[in-house]
Structure 1
């Protein structure tokens, strides 16, 4: 049995309050790391909060230096892998919604830039979208991720699944008014790709808009193993990676695909 203990950090980040958001994150990561977990999972844009507009350029992390330094230090000091959610990163005139992943030694394993900007909030007008999926290993488990709105694009996630991904992460700032979609999409992506799906969502409010919370870990059968409510919290769960191979051998959708037909 190959087990991985996952710790979710669900945060109510404050828009534009970068220093305060960093302080809260440090406290929560250290708290969940004390529970003997293997991987800490963080939500989307925890540095600035999810925001657009002219202030974003001044608040985004220059080259990601501050965020990378903190995540590396925490991973090493707490001896834990960190899936770093995402942060607003500035490179020249461009801003990216970027994920960083660190191992227990504080070494950067992988990065990912959110592909699909949420156009109703004009995210696509302020952030430069990524162009590539990524993969990385945590404790011998093959992993990948996307970010928030990306979950609505099954082609993106299937492309990773076809590379043998066993555990998929999704940091988000998903609103309460579409909580029904959130739950169904998390389960659907897990079931159709026969992998664990682990999401860390924001909570609290963005302006007057309540965030959904309800960070989740869903197994390859679609069973919800962990689900937060709508307030800031940390939760942990142990997952059995062998289940992935078991279901893929029993119902081999990857073998039975007919991509030449669609």
Structure 2
């Protein structure tokens, strides 16, 4: 399964420019042979939170329309990072996922809001899991700060997720946390982690990429640099069964002790 990580700089508060760039990058990834294309967090507006009423994607319609069109055209799946949305008068940090037929198979609002970037002042938190099926494989998606909650990822892998996608705007000053947490989540959940971070800067933070794809043994299959790039990695799903057979963490759990 060829997965493309699209590591982007994002134009602060400029959805028009960002939609144009994302469409171009998705097309480029598809022509390079990707079957799943993965984007970073809040790529439509970045964290221009004070202007969300002007610039958030209303009901996600522009994002969904673009993803459905490109998925159909290239017969690819898109794990759409996340975008700022306005839904029923409230604002959210929302991930949309389309399959190869151009169907929306997942819509997820970020469950854990990050106070250091003021999300809690402007956004509403989601209240549902994010499990979906692509090419007959169960997968899951979380968003940035969700990564710091191991129980949240475990809920998804207990429900069958074999790949967990993690779009982010993770600042460079905490990039060591990013790398360690991603590797730990892959090892403890015996799954693939596909994480895409942005590059560039906004008025308050700098971002240095370091997007990663990590195998179930914890092996880092790829780590990005600090510039825009598209990287395609061939993910070997069968590795998961091997790891879970040799070290049967899931069957050895003692849930009665964990309450």
Give the TM-score normalised by structure 2. Answer: 0.97
**1:160 positional shift:** 0.4
Taking the TM superposition and a 5 Å limit, the aligned residue runs for 1:40-79 are 40-53=37-50, 55-79=51-75
Superposed CA offset, 1:158-202 (max 9, x none): 000101211110110000001100100110010000000001111
Whole-Å Cα distance in 2 between the matches of residues 43 and 187 of structure 1? 18
Superposed CA offset, 1:90-118 (max 9, x none): 01321011111001111111111100110
What corresponds to 1:222 in structure 2?
218
Tell whether 2:7 aligns with 1:10.
yes
Taking the TM superposition and a 5 Å limit, the aligned residue runs for 1:26-45 are 26-45=23-42
What corresponds to 2:115 in structure 1?
119
| Gaps in structure 2 of 5+ consecutive residues | none
SS at match of 2:173: helix
Tell whether 2:18 aligns with 1:21.
yes
2:193 to 183, 197, 205: 197
SS at match of 1:111: strand
Whole-Å Cα distance in 1 between the matches of residues 48 and 154 of structure 2? 28
1:162 to 155, 158, 167: 158
Taking the TM superposition and a 5 Å limit, the aligned residue runs for 1:113-262 are 113-262=109-258
Contact kept in structure 2, 1:94 and 1:128, CA below 8 Å: yes
How well do the aligned residues superpose, as a CA RMSD in angstroms?
0.9
Superposed CA offset, 1:221-252 (max 9, x none): 11110111011110000011010011111111
| Gaps in structure 1 of 5+ consecutive residues | none
**1:208 positional shift:** 4.7
SS at match of 2:251: helix
Provide runs of 4+ in structure 1 moved above 4 Å: none
**1:212 positional shift:** 2.5
